């Protein structure tokens, strides 16, 4: 696993209890949760470890919470395997901020503040513009683009060659669900989300985030960070600032992100953070890829064994 990419999950990966094993057993991970509580001014660690679930799923809690768990997993990996240098980094949606942090582009403190604010701005936009999201499996992108145009909604996530997510107003999502099924989709499922993420309905959140990011210091990443908007690495800090705002309203091009990474000869992936959603998506994009995840001590041990035996 000499060339390894590190990937980070986004909102939706959260689960009550996440990160607790790492925090209880690795002092450096515990310190991250303690510091996060101080930076945010509320007990994020307790929300992660104990819930309740309705608190954890609030966007301004879920986004920083997933980041801290992801950061803890990455710190645990770095501590155990200090010579492992990522060939590239990427994150899905809010997870892209974790990738930028891991690349040294943004501080831990600023990443927390950005994600808490980003979540708050997005939740407010959801309340102003009611919307929804639809996951479709088994239709071509061309067909889905036609459906999206007919329903006045957007492509939100290109998750794998088989799975694409649509986003927009509720009426459009309902119409798209019917059209997708009629077109022969294997599955068309409305997602349990509070709004139309990665669509133009998030424009108010994007505008507020643009203002917020003017006060955030960004430095050049130490390794390539692959942009959700571009499907290729960021080229400058100015572009990072621009594209991280556009990402709120534009499509997440996850398939292209992974294809860019594998085109560089990188075949190993380590998902740092709760769950294994990204691991499953990567396997659907590149069946030859070697994929591991870290979310607790047991999964860390498996990764270390794989790294040391490669």
Give the integer Cα–Cα distance in Å for 147 and 149: 5
SS3 state of residue 169: strand
* Torsion sign, CA atoms 58, 111, 166, 211: positive
Residues 91 and 7 sit within 8 Å (Cβ to Cβ): yes
Strand 4-8 vs strand 88-91: parallel, antiparallel, or unpaired?
parallel
Residues 49 and 20 sit within 8 Å (Cβ to Cβ): yes
198 belongs to the catalytic site:
yes
Which whole-number Å values give the CA distances from 310 to 61, 148, 267, 305, in the listed order? 38, 44, 12, 9
Identified catalytic residue from 59, 198, 251, 299: 198
236 belongs to the catalytic site:
no
Identified catalytic residue from 70, 93, 251, 299: 93
Region of residue 168 (left: phi > 0; alpha: psi -120 to 50; beta: else)? left
Tokens of 303: 């990764």
> CA 54, 58, 60: angle at the middle one, nearest 5?
150
Catalytically annotated residues: 93, 198
């Amino acid at each position: 696993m000499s060339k390894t990419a590190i990937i980070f999950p986004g909102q939706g990966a959260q689960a009550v209890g996440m990160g607790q094993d790492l925090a209880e057993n690795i002092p450096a991970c515990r310190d991250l949760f303690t510091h996060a509580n101080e930076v945010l001014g509320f007990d994020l660690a307790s929300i992660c470890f104990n819930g309740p679930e309705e608190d954890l799923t609030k966007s301004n809690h879920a986004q920083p919470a997933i980041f801290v768990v992801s950061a803890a997993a990455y710190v645990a990996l770095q501590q155990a395997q200090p010579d492992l240098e990522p060939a590239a980094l990427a994150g899905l949606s809010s997870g892209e901020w974790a990738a930028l942090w891991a690349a040294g582009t943004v501080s831990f403190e600023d990443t927390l503040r950005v994600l808490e604010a980003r979540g708050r701005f997005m939740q407010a936009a959801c309340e102003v513009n009611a919307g929804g999201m639809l996951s479709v499996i088994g239709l071509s992108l061309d067909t889905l683009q036609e459906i999206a145009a007919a329903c006045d909604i957007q492509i939100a996530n290109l998750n794998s060659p088989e799975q694409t997510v649509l986003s927009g107003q509720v009426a459009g999502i309902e119409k798209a669900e019917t059209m997708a099924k009629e077109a022969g989709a294997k599955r068309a499922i409305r997602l349990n989300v509070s709004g139309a993420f990665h669509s133009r309905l998030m424009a108010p959140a994007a505008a507020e985030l643009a203002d917020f990011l003017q006060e955030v210091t960004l430095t050049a990443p130490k390794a390539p960070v692959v942009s959700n908007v571009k499907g290729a690495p960021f080229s400058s800090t100015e572009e990072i600032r621009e594209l991280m705002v556009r990402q709120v309203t534009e499509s997440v091009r996850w398939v292209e992100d992974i294809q860019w990474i594998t085109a560089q000869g990188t075949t190993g992936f380590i998902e740092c953070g709760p769950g294994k959603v990204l691991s499953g998506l990567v396997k659907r994009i590149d069946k030859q890829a070697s994929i591991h995840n870290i979310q607790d001590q047991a999964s860390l041990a498996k990764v270390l064994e794989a790294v040391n035996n490669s």
